[in-house]
Amino acid sequence: MRRRLLLLGAVLGLVLPVGAAWADGMQQRVDRAIERGLAALVERQGEDGSWTAEPGPAVTALVLEGLYAEPGFGVSHPAGERGLAYVLSFVKENGGIHGGFLQNYNTAICLAALASVADREGIAEIIKGGHDFLRGLQWAGQLDPRGEVVTEVHPYYGGAGYGGKGRPDLSNTATMLAGLHASGLDAEDEAYQRAVVFLTRVQAVPENDLFDNEVLPRDGGFIYATSVNLDLIGVPESKANPEKIDEALAGQPVSGLRGYGSMTYAGFMSYLYAELDRDDPRVRAAYLWLGEHYTVERNPGMPAGYELDGLFYYYLVMARSLSAWGEMMLDAPEGERRWAVDLSEQLLAMQGEDGLWRNESTRWLEGDPNLATAYAVQALQAARPWLGSDNE
């Protein structure tokens, strides 16, 4: 790459940025984009300290996590202090951090933000309470909606849903593990071990003991859930096959479910947080799927008309998982890709003049600029250390 740039520069008589100079320029652009995004969010903070209060404290916690990680803002920034007070107002006696619903989602995301201020008085105890609360929500040993005990052979086992009696899904399970990981819970904890059972059952791999290759073609991708709803326990769901839900509701057999990008990165990330061996066939299968479907332009695997659904969450789990994987390059069909550069360039191009990011698709709340911007900022923060220089 460096030689090609130098040759092009010589032919055209141009001075092109290469090597460390190119990397420094890219770093500066990313730094500036993050600063602009966070500054725009600070201006949008509510009087009560929140950002987008409707789902509970989760969006506020996502913004705080980005603020806390940026030197120009940090844990003592006034907006951060107001946001922290808002989050702490949701702490329950049983350890949950939520407003009455989306209990797993809210608590896990809040734990990740609180990890940055764990040295403050009382925060460590709140984090421990949150760990206990999430363990209690994870499906293992409770009675399912039919009154059956959720043992290791049950489709729910090891997964987490939005809270209460809700059926588990991969998004909530990955969010739970991300919150536990960020807030310091050791991967030896049984919560991770139970989750791996659920993760395997939403992955298209031979190790899946719940669904055969007619239901999940063995390509290594991940689907959304082992159950469509409380009435269809054990009937799997993929957001990449919306037509299959109608078939399931009509009592027709479900087959040929597709994995898709955001869930496959979420599953891959979760395996890494659970510290599965890098050579584990489930880890390798997920990595190969991600390489084969590599893109930063859409959520791959989603059907036509749905490609932008969950796009910014896709960017976040992409950056987090590949950062955890720890390699600058990713094998793709067209050759090795410098994923952090590709992702950063895409996000830089998508930032609005006001510093905010927005998704054209409003599904999963991503039409909200507070949420989309929080995702984008954290994706850039996770990718930034892997930008490198052109001669690395």
Top pLDDT among 20 and 48 is at: 48
Which among 357, 358, 243 is positioned nearest to 305, based on CA atoms? 243
pLDDT exceeding 70 applies to what percent of the chain? 93
Q: Nearest to residue 315, comparing CAs of 378, 357, 226? A: 378
**Which band of pLDDT confidence, cut at 50, 70 and 90, is reported for residue 13?**
very low
Q: Is the pLDDT of residue 6 over 50?
A: no
Structure tokens at 231: 């009435």
pLDDT of residue 370: 98
Query: Which of residues 2 and 169 earns the better pLDDT score?
Result: 169
> What is the C-alpha separation between 87 and 298, in angstroms, rounded?
32
Asked if 282 and 205 touch (Cβ cutoff 8 Å), the reply is yes
pLDDT band at 21 (very low <50, low <70, confident <90, very high): low
pLDDT recorded at residue 118: 97
Per residue in 101-155, pLDDT (tens digit) is 999 999 999 999 999 999 999 999 999 999 999 999 999 999 999 999 999 999 9
330, 296 in Cβ contact below 8 A?
no
Structure tokens at 63: 């913004």
Q: Tokens 């009455």 sit at which residue?
A: 100
Residue 271 CA neighbour count, 13 Å, CB half: 26
pTM value is 0.92
**Percent of the chain topping pLDDT 90:** 86
Mean pLDDT across the chain: 92
For residue 335, what are the β-bridge partners?
332
Rounded-to-integer distance, Cα 243 and Cα 221, Å? 19
* Tens digit of each residue's pLDDT (9 = 90 or more) over 348-379: 999 999 999 999 999 999 999 999 999 999 99
Euclidean distance between CA atoms 64 and 55, whole angstroms = 16
pLDDT tens string 266-289: 999 999 999 999 999 999 999 999
Q: Which residues contact 162 (CB under 8 A, 6 or more apart)?
A: 101, 102, 103, 104, 105, 172
DSSP assignment string, 164-194 = TTPPPBHHHHHHHHHHHHHTT--TTSHHHHH
pLDDT digits (tens, 9 = 90+) for 95-109: 999 999 999 999 999
State yes or no: pLDDT of 305 exceeds 60: yes
pLDDT band at 10; cut points 50, 70, 90: very low
Residues shown for the chain: 392
Q: How confident is the model at residue 390 (pLDDT cuts 50, 70, 90)?
A: very low
23 has pLDDT over 80: no
